[in-house]
Amino acid sequence: MITRQLIKKEIDTIPENYIEVLYKIIKALQISNRSDTIKKKSNTDWLQFINETYGCLAYDPIERGKQGEYEIREEFK
């Protein structure tokens, strides 16, 4: 089984020129973990928002206005 102690021990054997790369990998894993948590929370928030606002425009629906007309500037040949 891999433990934190084993990983820390292995880090001590990494050549100095790879330390920055290893640090970036560790930070990327931390950000990935946080974004997964944020996504889960966002999905919950989104569902709550939908449940609270569903049907709020039933008596005042959104209507699309007239398209309008555009002038023709150049004719293609």
- What distance in Å separates the CA atoms of residue 8 and residue 38, rounded to the nearest whole number? 28
Per-residue pLDDT for 74 more than 70? Answer: yes
- Which pLDDT score, from 0 to 100, does residue 3 have? 92
Higher pLDDT, 74 or 37: 74
- What distance in Å separates the CA atoms of residue 24 and residue 59, rounded to the nearest whole number? 53
- Which pLDDT score, from 0 to 100, does residue 33 have? 65
Do 11 and 22 touch, CB atoms closer than 8 A? yes
- Which pLDDT score, from 0 to 100, does residue 9 have? 92
Domain ranges within the chain, ordered by starting residue: 18-53
For 18-54, write each residue's pLDDT tens digit: 888 888 888 888 876 666 666 666 777 778 777 777 7
Please give the structure tokens belonging to residue 74: 């150049």
